[in-house]
Amino acid sequence: DLRFSPDKTPYKTYMGAHVCPGGKKSGFAGYYFHIGAAVNDWSGHHFMSSGLYQAHPSVVKSVRDDILYDATPYLNAIALAEGFEIDFGGCLKRVPAGYPSDSPFEHFFRLKDFLLARYMDDEFILDKNLLRKVLSGFKKTHTFVDLLNRSVSYANTSQN
C-alpha cells in the first residue's frame, strides 16, 4: 500500500511466470516468462528464459560434470534454440576447482545459472499471437531443459 508512503515508486514493476516439473521449488529446470515496465533495471525488460536458476550446488556440479564428460549434447541443444543465447550474467571469475581452465568449454564451467534467454521488445509482447510465439520459443529450448533435468535427477538420486 503506497497511500501513506512518501516514496510512491511501485514495489514491483514486473510480472513473471515459471513452469517446471514438480513446481518452482522442485529444483528442476523449466521455463520463465517475464514482462516488465519501462524502468532502468533488469525488471524493465521483457524476456523468456529456459534452464536452471539458483540451483543447489550438487545440481550445478552435476551439470558441470555432464558438460565435462561430453559437451556435444549441450552445444547441439543450444544450436537448436534459435533466437536464444546463453545468459552469462553472474558468472564466476575463475573456473572452479576440479575443472580444466584450458578447456574450450571453460565458460560453461564458470556458469552459476544455466539459462538460455531471449529478450523481447514491446512489439513482440503486444502481438496478438503472443502465446503461440512464446510456446514456439520454449519448444526450441526443450532439449536444453531435458539435458539439465537429467543432471538434476542424477544429483537428486546421488544425494539419497
What distance in Å separates the CA atoms of residue 96 and residue 111, rounded to the nearest whole number? 10
Domains of the chain: 14-159 (3.30.1460)
- Mean pLDDT confidence for 91-116: 95
In b/e form, how buried is each residue of 50-60, taking b as 16+ CB within 10 angstroms? bbbbebeeebb
Q: What is the DSSP letter of 96?
A: P
Distances in Å between the Cα of 36 and the Cα atoms of 43, 45, 129 are: 5, 5, 19
Q: Does residue 110 or residue 25 have the better pLDDT?
A: 110
Q: Is the pLDDT of residue 20 over 80?
A: yes
Q: What is the DSSP letter of 95?
A: P
- Mean pLDDT confidence for 121-133: 94
Q: What is the pTM of this model?
A: 0.88
Is there a contact between 119 and 45 (Cβ–Cβ < 8 Å)?
A: yes
Residue 120, CB-side half-sphere exposure with 13 Å CA sphere: 19
